[in-house]
Amino acid sequence: LIAHVYLTTTGHTPLAHIKAMITGWEEVEAEEKK
């Protein structure tokens, strides 16, 4: 349980992964092509 709670807060913001689980969408930075 502790590991799951910790890992949900390791996104770019503390609630990013939780928001992605609820909405089904995750904000991802676009990669720069060379």
Instruction: Collect all residues with Cβ–Cβ distance below 8 Å to 26 and sequence separation of at least 6.
Output: 16, 17, 20
**pTM metric for this prediction:** 0.57
The DSSP call for residue 11 is S
Per-residue pLDDT tens digits for 1-32: 999 989 988 888 888 888 988 999 988 888 88
